[in-house]
Structure 1
Amino acid sequence: MADASPDKTAIRNAATVIVLRDRQTTPHILMGQRGANAAFMPNKFVFPGGAVDATDKTVPLAHPVPAPCAARLADDAPENLADALAVAAIRELWEETGLVLGTPAPWAGPVPADWQSFAATGHVPTAAKLQFVFRALTPPGRPRRFDARFFLVDAADLASDPDDFSAASDELSHLQWVPLREARRFDMPFITEVVLSEIEARVQDTAAPASVPFFKNNDEESLFLRLRGA
């Protein structure tokens, strides 16, 4: 997002991925720990994710974001951002965990530099199984601010072995499948705890939510809204 708050910290669009495993039996979620020297949320356990890059808007998806989610992503947001958010989510998942959310196929054109390793797996990204479940705007006064969209995906829909983190970067350490009921014992950001509550409430429900919570911390006040799509 181009505008900036009075504290001069620019707000960047971002995407986060919650990978859920064994949801019908013993639900686990994938988490990792940010480095001690990270500028944003050091040492915290988080879901894979990060800011939308300029090239994310140019990467084609094998399948777009499903219609209900796309409509809610468009609420109170710049136009034509839904697919870029999904692309960013898939890229960050790959970079930070080495897991592939894609469809086996050749790329139709030139592959951006930061997608070369993903393309080498023989896949193109797909958003068909991404489910938009939460949105949060970082409060003013933080060293970095993000307008983050949280996506949920089932580990069964990954195109790679969910236990193989060999291609992961070093952005997150201690990557692990955490039992959902034990996740709160980890040191995590407040907003991650809020998102966990949403996941716990609908872990057995595979349908897209009727509306998506939006924790909007703007410069005047904090609002808890619901995104329902146009």
Structure 2
Amino acid sequence: MDSAQVTDRAADVPVRPAATIVLTRAGTNGPEVLMGQRGAGAAFMPSKYVFPGGAVDRTDAAVPLAAALAEPCRARLDGTGITPETLAAAAIRELFEETGLALGRPGIWTDAPPDWEAFAARGLCPDASGLRFIFRAVTPPGRPRRFDARFFLADADAVQGDVEDFSAACDELSHLHWISLTEVRRLDLPFITEVVLSEVALLMRGGQQPGVPFFDNSGTRPTFRRIT
């Protein structure tokens, strides 16, 4: 198969909406983030250390939130063909599936979709009030999977339960651990994760974003802009 055929097939890969949570906490050596390692056989970013996250599921659109996203985050997520509430729900679900950590509030939820049954079984409804939209990136062409990913910053104090307990995590991420921002770049990180970490470090120092950074690879030429 020649290179032109490979490129043509790669261009046909659909771009799926996705959501990621950058969970932070105060550590003895400064702010820490939660990271996990993708499997060596994974089709997307094998062996890389990443934040918990993944593609939006169809059922995420029907999930009731115990508390909504705050402004201006909600406004910055609106008008993209998928609701802010759906993106927030997907981020919370992915965090729970991949780490076992729940961002929720006590509440009765009797009709949870299958992907949410374990979350609801804890007597919780998903809480988006502590999520802060800090980054957006579209995966470049030529990758086996492509995502339009929104990254949310969240504080570990909002987690219900022990933030060191990953016993309920699925096997998608291994080596789940907290690591300080001063040491995290020693890990094998994707380029976009390094860029997001720079934004996280800025915010943890009390800095401000002049709009949410957006690396857009949806067209023929990569572009960078800020969502205000």
* TM-score scaled by length of structure 2: 0.92
SS of match in other structure, 2:204: coil
**Residues in 2 aligned to 1:37 and 1:120: alpha-carbon distance in whole angstroms:** 32
Q: Secondary structure at 2:93's aligned position in 1?
A: helix
Name the structure 1 match of 2:39: 35
Q: CA separation in 2, counterparts of 1:61 and 1:187? A: 35
Aligned residue identity for 1:227: I
Deviation string, structure 1 residues 89-146 (Cα, Å, up to 9, x no partner): 0000000000010000101x51101111111111000100000000000001111000
The answer (yes or no) to whether the contact 2:210–2:226 under 8 Å persists in 1 is no
Partner of 1:64: 68
Contact 1:23 1:204 in 2 (8 A): no
Counterpart of 1:92 in structure 2 is 94
Give a deviation string over 1:24-52, Cα, whole Å, max 9, x none: 96111000000011110000000000000
Q: Which moved more, 1:164-173 or 1:215-224?
A: 215-224
One-letter identity of the residue aligned with 1:217: N
**Which stretch of the first structure deviates more once superposed, 59-68 or 86-95?**
59-68
Other-structure match for 1:212: 212
**Equivalent pair of 2:10/2:142 in contact (CA under 8 Å):** no
Q: Check whether the contact 1:137–1:216 (CA below 8 A) recurs between aligned residues.
A: yes
* 1:152 matched residue in structure 2: 153
Q: Spell out the pairing of 1:113-132 with structure 2 (5 A cutoff).
A: 113-132=114-133
Contact 1:23–1:203 under 8 Å retained in 2: no
Residue ranges of structure 2 left out of the alignment (5+ in a row): 1-8
Partner of 2:189: 188
C-alpha deviation, 1:194, in angstroms: 0.4
Superposed CA deviations along residues 173-194 of structure 1, whole A, max 9, x for unmatched, are 0000011111111001000000
Runs of 4+ in 1 over 4 A off after TM superposition: none
The match for 1:162 is 163
Note if contact 2:37-2:48 (Cα within 8 Å) is conserved in structure 1.
Answer: yes
Identity %: 55
For these two proteins, the number of residue pairs brought into alignment is 220
Cα drift, residue 210 of structure 1 = 4.6
**Shift in Å, 1:65:** 1.2
User: Contact 2:10–2:144 at 8 Å: present in 1 too?
Assistant: no
Counterpart of 1:30 in structure 2: which amino acid? Answer: L
Equivalent in the alignment of 2:3: none
Change (3 A) 1:6 1:185: closer
